[in-house]
Amino acid sequence: MEFRYLGNSGLKISEITYGNWLTHGSQVENDVATQCVRAALDEGISTFDTADVYANTVAESVLGEALKGERRESLEIFTKVYWPTGPKGKNDTGLSRKHVMESIDGSLQRLQTDYVDLYQAHRYDTETPLEETMQAFADIVRQGKALYIGVSEWTADQIREGVALSTELGFQLISSQPQYSMLWRVIEGEVVPTSAELGVSQIVWSPMAQGVLSGKYLPGQQPPQGSRAADEKGGADMIKRFMRDDVLSRVQELKPVADEAGLSMAQLAVAWVLQNDNVAAALVGASRPEQVAENVKASGVRLDPAVMARIDEVLGDIVERDPNRTRETAPQTRVA
């Protein structure tokens, strides 16, 4: 496992980071989830990412239990706040001071830790003054409940404003967690250049485009039983934008590219996002322990420029690059 600095800070994280969205507390049983976490630790992964909203707080509890007994100083534990949790009342969502301050305490209790290494705004809250949110984050850092602050799916302008306020308030906003893959490159035009300028790193989610880049989905065929595309509890909805025959056909053409590089298609996808200098880590999940061992093999891989060019040639115009997609896919009002 290789490690990278997160933003303009002294914090190092594993470049393959274990995330438990859509798995722990929902898709897989708790004992299997624990086995996956143990497999991640065995493979040298030290960084774990979750959120209070995953499985309506259950994912945090599962992760906390799975990590119990590990040396806390050897781990980097990340979580997030924004989406509705609990009974989903009027203040159980967003980035108001009330919700942020209550949410961090709930997350720490479920994760069985005194602090998180990174606390992230899971989306931008259009209904709360950014100054209010940033002051709450500053207080959480001063209280020792979080060491650093990050954001997720914020636009370049929102990141710039957030960093300016964090600097003024005396804490470090060091990361952005966007979707990023060979098929979804919307951060390259604005978010990445702005982040690089400001000392912010990307922790990217869905580097395998919800599993599409693994090559397991074939054009003209039904998704395999038990796969994310067959999961009506949430996975199928998230993956549907990539489940078009034109996309799936192009993805199949990547198999010879992966073969020549000596990688599986999944490893090629993870290695591809790690070629971007502004990416500190690729988030990978797992429903089976052996998937963790497979994904970790992408760590340290350096792809030749010819391979990168061939990937671009194969995928062509099916790649989404419009930076406006970050804003368009964000909630315009608080989700209740």
Structure tokens, 275: 């070629």
Tell me which of 5, 18, 54, 124 is the catalytic residue. 54
Q: What DSSP line would sit under 80-142, residue for residue?
A: EE-S--TT--TTSSSS-HHHHHHHHHHHHHHHT-S-EEEEEESS--TTS-HHHHHHHHHHHHH
Euclidean distance between CA atoms 101 and 105, whole angstroms = 7
Q: What are 16's two structure tokens?
A: 């393959």
CA distance readout (Å), 290 to 15, 37, 81, 158, 269: 18, 11, 30, 38, 17
Q: Is 57 left (phi over 0), alpha (psi -120 to 50) or beta?
A: left
CA torsion angle 66 70 76 77 (round to 10)? 30
Q: Is 54 a catalytic residue?
A: yes
Return the active site residues. Answer: 54
